[in-house]
Structure 1
Amino acid sequence: MSAAWRPLPEALPPEVRHFVEQLRLLKDRTGLSLIALGKETAYSKSSWQRYLNAQQPPPRQAVAALCKVAGEDGERFCARWEVAVRAWPRGGAGGTEPAPGVVLSKAAKTSRAGKAGKTSRAGKTGKSAPPAWSRGPRRPSRARSAWTWRSTAAVTTLLVLAALFEGLLRFLMR
């Protein structure tokens, strides 16, 4: 492992420690700096620092992107990712809930549901609400979508009018 890596926290679960060590080795094999890795994978240098220092679990897509850059089997690493994410401590408390923003595959959710049984999220109706980390990305509001559409239409209209005006001027200048 690179001498530049910070030591991993002692309280880290072994699955997480092994996964992060493997990611570090994979990153070192690429020979890329964190900045160059960020450019190759579309994940920032600071994100890779958090992932490779076990401060935050990486998204599955980041692991797949690193594997692609390193020429490694992405399926194998994504399977390791699922094991590590299930064991990743939440908020440093050592819990088994995945960190916010991490979306598990259907198989991992099924496995977690079988182990958990009834959850403490159950309300008066007895139904449990889905945890925040499994809800996926939020969609933009309708107002923002409409604003984006209108601004795109306005810019397109201006460009078309400018092109027509330029064509008219060229025609008149002949």
Structure 2
Amino acid sequence: MEQLRTLKDRTGWSLAELARRTAYSKSSWQRYLSGAKQPPRGAVQALCRMAGTEQARLLALWDLADLTWPHGAAAGPAEPAAHAPPAGADYRRWRAAALVSFAVIAVLLAGLLWVLPVGSG
């Protein structure tokens, strides 16, 4: 959220002006910039355009945040026991995060092996 607030500050616009220039309301921007609610991908893209900055870095961060953001979770105590495996959407989100992590590690390892000199022998 800090990066979004920085971009908003870079525009010099109030929340009302930002709402007027985008498809998102003032109260929505307030929730997005405070971290109370995950901004839609389109809001991040719109803010990047308004601030005149490259979208790729913030959209990559948005993708990572989207994997772990509590989507539609009602406030209240968690039902499952701590040792129980995650169920439903939580399991899919955990699995996606694990697969992304594994892919990043595999790419980094492949890159490391690629640049290491091959020993003579």
Q: The TM-score by the shorter chain falls in which range? A: 0.5 to 0.7
The answer to whether residue 29 in structure 2 is matched with residue 44 in structure 1 is: no
Give SS of 2:38's match: coil
Q: Deviation of residue 111 (structure 1)?
A: 3.0
> Which residue pairs with 2:60 in the alignment?
79
Give SS of 1:65's match: helix
For 1:116-152, what per-residue CA distance to the aligned partner results, in whole angstroms no more than 9, with x for missing partners? xxxxxxxxxxxxxxxxxxxxxxxxxxxxxxxxxxxxx
- Is contact 2:44–2:58 with CA below 8 Å preserved after alignment? yes
Structure 2 unaligned spans of 5+: 79-85, 101-121
Letter in 1 for 2:2: E
The answer to whether residue 52 in structure 2 is matched with residue 35 in structure 1 is: no
Q: Deviation of residue 86 (structure 1)?
A: 1.6
Which structure has the larger Rg?
A: 1
> Which residue pairs with 1:149 in the alignment?
none
- Is contact 2:4–2:33 with CA below 8 Å preserved after alignment? yes
> Which residue pairs with 1:21 in the alignment?
2
Greater length-normalized contact order (CA 8 Å, ≥ 6 residues apart): 2
**Where do residues 1-174 of structure 1 align in structure 2 (5 Å cutoff)?**
20-90=1-71, 91=73, 111-112=96-97, 114=99
Give SS of 1:69's match: helix
Q: How many angstroms apart in 2 are the aligned matches of 1:59 and 1:69?
A: 16
Q: How many angstroms apart in 1 are the aligned matches of 2:54 and 2:21?
A: 17
TM-score if structure 2 supplies the norm length?
A: 0.59
